[in-house]
């Protein structure tokens, strides 16, 4: 089978003009569907920024807010925050790198190379020209910015400019709602301590209010080819002994910059390019008839690896490494975290997604998740609606019971897609403790069934418009408990824990009240609330997606329930919808095998994205929605749930020529497939473990290099069983 290494020609630019051709060439030209900015595309606002990151610290590239002639690299790190006495610790800006031309700039360009992780550009002034480039280097955790001037701009250098930190919510006071909350009165941090030089490296110590602070270290480096660089590192420390805390943070940054300088800019550049090359080639996708989705997909994979890394202890929060003026300056747990990690499994980007595993492990092992429950007198572990990077919930919003369970579903998928047994073993005690939390709220009623106490269903309003209304038997809670119980029972058996609690879990499942369903409209919000008006969230549909505990393979009645539930959710003409309404709807219609309807919904998303594919809602910028498109697109092309790998399960009729390489599925298997003129031509599956594999395909009586046994037929599809050993490659072609 011909491999799918895609060459995507660089064309114009930003999302509004996504068009390019694609052909099959060598790996060195893999997926360079770069973002390009020219002149009018630049602004000093978030929706037009370029962005780099190494999974822990990063920079937004935009026009300078103090002098529009200059270029600004706005620096950030996940744990650089303010420390208010109450509430979560919100994000703050960590300073700037500035490029200041001597002349007046008349022409600007910027290009974000998805294959090398380098962003670069030019500034042409009436005195000369400046070339610049930047990247976030992972091994030493430093940001590198380089400048080379010509003519009257010769000798240009990047410089560091202090940014007095403040909770970014202070800048977001456009609405009365946020003024009432007092965000416009949030105090700035104290002034930074005077800059000092240690072994030629500049060091800045920045105290924050109440405690802790962060340290910045940077060193200018001149290269022999005329480039002037700045290497910069950021670190934070929340210690209550403030002087000691910021000294420790500064020392951490200093050590990293010293090591990076000793390594040299050339080697830093080479290692950065090599890392991105390897990352970019883990999988690829080619859709001849829809290059817009190829490009958007590729950009999200770049964004994902910039926001997350295998070494990061921090989860992706609402804005990733590119914070801005926002009412959500932290981590939201009722959808944002979960969707931000949707690229990691099926797109074969597990290494980059490891920060989710690291972060949840940290929060569990340090007692944070348990403390979230204990502060309300509850057993087990949980998260509320929002928190800072530590995972400590904000004072309110405790009764969204499904939040942590949904995150643990992501954790479970990581285990199933990676085949790493230790991930499953680490998950089991967390899942048990979350079940303890959820079952604490069950009450047996007159019907003999266990019912869920009042809780919130994000963020469904009642008839008075109160989106914090609490209801009994919320499907968000019940569906999450149902998945948790089934999964705990399966893990207990699969990994041989022999936990006696399994008997209790089985009895709880038997006694649990059925999921609330309305005859005409399907799944309800709760036991007494139908889904009867447009709303963006699919919290009442999690059993369909992503839990798959209610699915189309369970028979005609269940298929009909799934159909009417999803149809009802999308029956209000887009009223109340948000971007993730369309990505979630796409995935659900793909589960129904309805690719055209799925794409119809997905096609409504690009118009809601910003030119750089970032996303903004009422409370400000967030990044989870565009990231979630990766899995939605993949669900049209490959699904694996319920023990079956489904090749091309819901391809839209428009997508006649589609090819992908090394998408990942449950069992740690890798799948490559090709479709020509609307018909599946071939596919390959490389086994990630020993055992039988069930594969559903529209190839009937195909040719294969191994024995296939047909075990079921369903319309145009057939399901085959094949026995494989880890590393075996099954190759299947049309007859």
Give residue limits of the domains in the chain: 33-280, 390-548
DSSP state of 695: E
Task: Tell me the pTM.
Answer: 0.95
**3-state SS record for 622-679:** ECHHHHHHHHHHHHHHEEEECCEEEECCCCCCCCCCEEEEEEEECCCEEEEEEEECCE
Residue 135 near residue 54 (C-beta atoms within 8 A): no
* Shared fold status for 33-280 and 390-548: no
Q: Which residues pair with 119 in a beta bridge?
A: 112, 134
Angle subtended by helix axes 475-494 and 421-439, to nearest 10: 140
Q: Which CATH class is domain 390-548?
A: mainly alpha
DSSP state of 505: H
Tokens of 397: 């919003």
Tell me what pLDDT residue 174 has: 62
For the chain, residues with pLDDT lower than 50 are 1-32
Tell me what pLDDT residue 11 has: 29
What CA–CA distance (Å, rounded) separates 585 from 403?
Answer: 20
Tell me what pLDDT residue 177 has: 61
Q: Which CATH class is domain 33-280?
A: mainly beta
Tell me what pLDDT residue 33 has: 73
Entry field: residues in the chain: 735
What CA–CA distance (Å, rounded) separates 528 from 498?
Answer: 38
Tell me what pLDDT residue 7 has: 25
SS3 at position 128: strand
What CA–CA distance (Å, rounded) separates 406 from 330?
Answer: 18
What CA–CA distance (Å, rounded) separates 570 from 578?
Answer: 12
Tell me what pLDDT residue 459 has: 80
For 573, other C-beta atoms within 10 Å of its C-beta total: 8
Q: Among all chains, which residue has been given the structure tokens 């400019």? A: 161
Tell me what pLDDT residue 534 has: 84
Residue 626 near residue 300 (C-beta atoms within 8 A): yes
Q: Which long-range contacts (CB under 8 A, 24 or more apart) does 189-194 make?
A: 189/82, 189/92, 189/164, 189/165, 189/213, 191/164, 192/162, 192/164, 193/246
Residue 635: closest CA among 623, 653, 647, 627: 647
SS3 at position 145: strand
What CA–CA distance (Å, rounded) separates 607 from 625?
Answer: 13
Tokens of 406: 């949904």
Question: 641, exposed or middle or buried, with CB in 10 Å at 0-12, 13-18, 19+?
Answer: buried
* 397 alpha carbon, distance to own chain's centre: 23
Tell me what pLDDT residue 172 has: 80
What CA–CA distance (Å, rounded) separates 563 from 566?
Answer: 5
| DSSP notation for 79-125 | T-B---SSS---B----EEEE--SS-EEEEEEEE-TTT--EEEEEEE
């Amino acid at each position: 089978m011909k491999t799918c290494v895609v060459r995507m020609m660089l064309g114009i630019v930003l999302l509004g003009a996504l068009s390019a051709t694609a052909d099959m060439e060598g790996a060195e030209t893999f997926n360079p569907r770069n973002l390009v900015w020219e002149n009018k595309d630049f602004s000093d606002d978030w929706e037009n920024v370029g962005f780099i990151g190494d999974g822990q610290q990063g920079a937004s590239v935009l026009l300078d807010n103090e002098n529009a002639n200059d270029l600004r690299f706005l620096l950030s790190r996940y744990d650089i925050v303010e420390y208010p006495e109450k509430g979560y610790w919100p994000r703050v800006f960590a300073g700037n790198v500035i490029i200041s031309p001597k002349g007046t700039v008349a022409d600007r360009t910027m290009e974000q190379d998805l294959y090398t992780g380098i962003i670069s550009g030019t500034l042409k002034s009436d005195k000369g020209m400046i070339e610049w480039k930047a990247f976030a280097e992972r091994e030493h955790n430093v940001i590198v910015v380089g400048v080379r001037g010509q003519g009257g701009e010769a000798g240009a250098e990047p410089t560091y400019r202090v940014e007095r930190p403040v909770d970014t919510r202070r800048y977001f006071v456009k609405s009365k709602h946020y003024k009432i909350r007092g965000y416009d009165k949030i105090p700035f941090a104290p002034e930074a301590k005077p800059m000092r030089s240690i072994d030629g490296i500049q060091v800045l110590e920045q105290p924050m209010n109440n405690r802790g602070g962060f340290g910045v270290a940077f060193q200018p480096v001149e290269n022999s080819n005329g480039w002037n660089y700045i290497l910069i590192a950021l670190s934070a420390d929340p210690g209550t002994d403030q002087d000691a805390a910021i000294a420790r943070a500064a020392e951490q940054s200093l050590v990293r910059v010293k090591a990076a300088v000793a390594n040299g800019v050339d080697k830093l550049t080479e290692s950065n390019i090599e890392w991105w090359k390897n990352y970019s080639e883990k999988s690829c996708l080619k859709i001849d008839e829809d290059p817009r989705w190829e490009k958007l997909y590729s950009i999200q994979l770049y964004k994902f690896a910039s926001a997350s890394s295998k070494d990061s202890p921090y989860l992706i929060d609402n804005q990733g490494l590119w914070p801005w003026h926002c009412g959500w300056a932290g981590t939201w747990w009722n959808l944002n975290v979960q969707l931000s990690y949707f690229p990691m499994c099926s797109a074969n980007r597990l290494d980059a997604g490891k920060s989710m595993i690291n972060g949840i492990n940290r929060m569990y092992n340090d007692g944070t998740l348990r403390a979230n429950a204990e502060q309300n007198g509850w057993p087990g572990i949980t998260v509320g609606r929002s928190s800072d990077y530590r995972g400590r919930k904000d004072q309110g919003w405790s009764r969204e019971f499904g939040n942590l369970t949904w995150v643990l579903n992501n954790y479970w998928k990581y285990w199933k897609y990676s085949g790493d047994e230790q991930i499953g073993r680490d998950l089991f005690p967390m899942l048990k403790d979350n079940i303890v939390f959820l079952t604490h709220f069950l009450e047996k009623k007159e019907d003999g069934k266990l019912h869920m106490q009042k809780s919130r269903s994000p963020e469904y309003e009642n008839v008075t418009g109160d989106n914090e209304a609490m209801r009994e038997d919320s499907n968000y809670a019940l569906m999450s408990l149902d998945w948790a119980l089934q999964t705990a029972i399966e893990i207990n058996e699969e990994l041989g824990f022999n936990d006696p609690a399994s008997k209790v879990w089985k009895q709880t499942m038997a006694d649990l009240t059925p999921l609330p369903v309305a005859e005409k409209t399907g799944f309800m919000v709760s036991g007494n609330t139908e889904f009867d008006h447009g709303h963006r969230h699919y919290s009442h549909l999690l059993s369909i997606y992503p839990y798959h505990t209610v699915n189309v393979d369970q028979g005609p009645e269940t298929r009909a329930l799934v159909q009417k539930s999803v149809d009802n959710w999308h029956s209000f003409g887009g009223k109340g919808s948000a971007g993730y309404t369309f990505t979630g709807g796409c995935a659900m219609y793909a589960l129904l095998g309805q690719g055209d309807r799925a794409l119809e919904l997905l096609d409504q998303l690009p118009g809601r994205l910003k030119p750089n594919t970032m996303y903004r809602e009422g409370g400000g910028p967030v990044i989870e929605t565009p990231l979630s498109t990766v899995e939605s697109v993949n669900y049209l092309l490959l699904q694996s749930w319920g023990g079956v790998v489904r090749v091309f399960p819901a391809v839209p009729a428009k997508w006649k020529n589609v090819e992908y390489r090394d998408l990942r599925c449950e069992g740690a298997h890798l799948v490559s497939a090709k479709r020509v003129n609307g018909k599946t031509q071939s596919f390959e599956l490389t086994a990630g473990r020993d055992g039988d594999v069930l594969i559903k395909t529209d190839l009937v009586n195909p040719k294969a290099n191994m024995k296939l046994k047909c075990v079921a037929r369903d319309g145009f599809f057939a399901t085959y069983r094949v026995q494989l050993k880890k590393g075996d490659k099954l190759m299947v072609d049309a007859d």
